[in-house]
Amino acid sequence: MKREGWFAPYVSGYFWRFLLIIALGALTIFSASSLMYTSGFLISKASIPPENILMIYVPIVGVRTFGTSRAVIHYVERLVGHDTILRVLSKMRIRLYKVLEPQALFLSSRFRTGDILGMLAEDIEYLQNVYLRTVFPSVIALLIYGAAVIALGTFDWAFALLMALYILVLVVVLPLISLFFTQKRQRLVKTERNRLYQKLTDAVLGMEDWMISGRQAQFVETYEADEKTVARTDGALRRWARVRMFIGQAVVGVAVLSMIYWAAGEYESGAIAGTLIAAFALVVFPVADAFLPVSEAVEKLPQYASSLERLDGVERSAADVPRAALFTVTPETAEQAAQAAAAAKAGGQVHIRLDHAGFAYEADGQWSVRNVSIDIPQGRKIAVIGRSGAGKSTLLKLIQGVLAPAAGTVRIGGLDAAAYGEHIPGIIAVLNQSPHLFDTTVANNIRLGDPDAPDDAVKQAAALARLGGLIASLPQGYDTPVREAGQRFSGGERQRIALARILLQNTPVVVLDEPTVGLDPRTERELLSTMFEAMQDKTLIWVTHHLVGAEQMDEVIFMENGAIEMRGTHAELMASQPRYRKLYELDRPQGFNQAAAE
């Protein structure tokens, strides 16, 4: 499917607004030119005895009119322009979010945090400037170009062509020269700034480790050195900008002198009145204001191109993600999925079945999951274990419908899991190893599981997660801010708040994706006990590296190289599989036994 560009949809969607902005911009230049023309005439006319008082009064009214209209039209142009571009900017950000959203489970492996922040904060801003600083000024300059040449042509076509040559230098020759000299530097500055963004983001996230290692001075030194490199390139661009401005002003100066010389000649030949010499000379300045910004506008094209390349790269990356969007969903299937999700949510019953399911991220690559068959009726509790890279995460994505199987089937309630799409959160909730707590209150973080839940339901979910004592100790109870990323709480406490969120979501199926990683043995044991007790009636799919707590599962599945190597109850595997028995013994270190004894 062909991707939409980042400009065309907004040009067609806001065509009449864009046309209005360009018309208002042209009227602003016209009002400014008329103001200077009338002012020049008035100054000249006032220096000689007028034949009639109206010869002075009418230009005075014209100066006031054009002076006021210029300010008003310019204000309206800015108002309409920024309102329109902010609307476009909003749509661009939403579009970028929709591009990133399907990759949510893949973001950490595909993009760095600095890249994402750079796209959100910088690349979209650059595309906004395409309209405000390049498209609109360039189109307005072309309109004024044509109008100025035609207006002068009514007096003298030869001189009009000479002025057209001057203007051509400002709107074509100088911008192209400027682009030639700055293109590489503009791209370099953009690249280096993105790299600084990534480096600073990485350093902020790892600030504690920098401090602990005692190498903060080294980071500051290297960062400042990188900044100086960017500053040198940026300085070269600013120096060229000053040179470019000087050349542009010199061309304008030559145009003014040419205009004075031509107007004087016209006066001498009797073609125009002497009072118009100043009028013609002064009108050059506001007209030139329409042409001088074109060079700067063209200079920015490499930065726009770089931003477009990054955004297009994100879209290509999104297209490469083998997700549910690749599964053909007919209107009938979508309706069935919506009804099935609603029924499962209301009745608390769902049956998950994997039949010889397989998946490979590359068409000719290694299978991440192969020939996996699992039957999970409502209320069944299974543990999926195995080393990193065994296929556990891919298996979860298949069950959640994020990936459509390349072989076999994955069905929820008789329908393909990939068909559920946006309805899957009503069936399956996920508690992973590092749930995010937003910088708001405890209650709001829990209520994320059900935004419409009343306070009583929030408190009940917190009680099931055994948060009562913790919340009672907080200064503002449920209204206590958790701080950024939940910094107020320990790892176990953050997991309990996330567990309360899952319980409030109240789905028939809960996936536990290694939720106890990084916790000490005692906290791990207490958290597992809380989870198993609070979710007795739910289907549990527990993915873990550890075997602690496996005895509470109905079935334990051991994966290796994408396939199921061992399966059975904990007791069966302990009795029949020496490898499993050894792993279980190794996974119960002395520290855990001591914690269990306490």
Query: Higher pLDDT residue, 35 or 4?
Result: 35
Task: Please say if the pLDDT value at position 591 is more than 80.
Answer: no
Tell me which of 373 and 233 has the higher pLDDT: 373
Domain match, 52 and 96 both: yes
- Considering 110-119, 158-167, 341-350, 410-419, the range whose residues carry the highest mean pLDDT is 158-167
101 shares a domain with 220? yes
Q: Which residue has the higher pLDDT, 166 or 490?
A: 166
Query: Per mean pLDDT, which range of 55-59, 106-110, 330-334 is the poorest?
Result: 106-110
DSSP reduced 3-state for 77: helix
Q: Do both 193 and 86 map to the same domain?
A: yes
pTM value is 0.63
- Domain membership of residue 487 (yes or no) is no
Region for residue 379 given its phi and psi (left: phi exceeds 0; alpha: psi -120 to 50; beta: otherwise): left
3-state secondary structure string across 185-239: HHHHHHHHHHHHHHHHHHHHHCHHHHHHHCCHHHHHHHHHHHHHHHHHHHHHHHH
Q: Which CATH number do you get for residue 393?
A: 3.40.50.300
Same domain, yes or no: 308 and 371:
no
One domain for residues 346 and 405: yes
CATH no. for residue 91?
A: 1.20.1560.10
Mean per-residue pLDDT, 556-575: 90
What pLDDT does residue 1 have?
39
Query: Residue 450 half-sphere exposure, CB side, CA atoms within 13 Å?
Result: 20
* Mean of pLDDT over the chain: 82
Q: Is residue 287 part of a domain?
A: yes
Of residues 488 and 116, the one with the higher pLDDT is 488
pLDDT at 594: 42
- Write out pLDDT tens, residues 69-86: 999 999 999 999 999 988
> Largest Cα–Cα distance in the chain?
120
- Say if residue 32 is in the same domain as residue 87: yes
Q: Show the domain range for 259.
A: 8-320
Asked whether 373 and 567 are in contact (CB, 8 A), the reply is no
State the average pLDDT over residues 203-214. Answer: 69
Q: H or E element: which one contains 415?
A: strand 415-416
Domain endpoint, select from 297, 320, 343: 320
291 and 344 both lie in a single domain: no
Looking only at the bridges linking them, the beta strands covering 563-568 and 428-432 are unpaired
The pair of structure tokens assigned to 542 is 């527990």
Q: Say if residues 532 and 477 touch (Cβ distance below 8 Å).
A: no
Domain co-membership, 370 together with 407:
yes
Verify that 395 and 330 share a domain, yes or no: yes
Position 449, amino acid: G
Q: Is 351 within a domain?
A: yes
- Convert the pLDDT of each residue in 438-491 to its tens digit: 888 888 989 988 888 888 998 888 888 888 888 888 888 888 888 876 778 888
DSSP at 550: G
Residue 416 bridge partners (DSSP):
411
* Nearest CA among 128, 231, 236, 129 for reference residue 184: 236
Residue 432 lies in a domain: no
Mean of pLDDT values over 548-561: 87
Using pLDDT thresholds of 50, 70 and 90, give the confidence band for residue 143: very high
280 within 8 A of 259, measured Cβ to Cβ:
yes
Check whether residue 311 and residue 338 sit in a common domain: no
Boundary-marking domain end, from 302, 320, 338? 320
Residue 493 within a domain = no
Lowest mean pLDDT among 54-68, 76-90, 199-213: 199-213
214 and 66 together in one domain: yes
Specify if 533 maps to a domain. Answer: no
How far is CA 296 from each of CA 130, 302, 501, rounded to the nearest angstrom?
12, 12, 52
The 3 state secondary structure assigned to 503-522 is HHHCCCEEEEECCCCCCCHH
SS3 content of the chain, % helix, strand, coil (to 5): 70, 10, 20
Q: Are 580 and 573 within 8 A, CB to CB?
A: yes
Q: What is the pLDDT of residue 203?
A: 73
**Lowest-confidence segment of 97-111, 183-197, 214-228, 266-280 by average pLDDT:** 97-111
Residue 530 vs residue 330, higher pLDDT: 530
Please give the average per-residue pLDDT across 513-534, as a whole number.
Answer: 80
Query: What local confidence, expressed as pLDDT, does residue 327 receive?
Result: 58
* pLDDT greater at residue 369 or residue 104: 369
Domain count, the chain: 2
8-state DSSP, 361: S
- DSSP-assigned beta bridge partners for residue 108: none
pLDDT in tens, 324-366: 434 566 677 778 888 888 888 787 788 999 999 998 877 667 8
Residue 536, in any domain of the structure: no
Domain shared by 408 and 271, yes or no: no
Residue 419 lies in a domain: yes
Chosen domain end from 298, 320, 342: 320
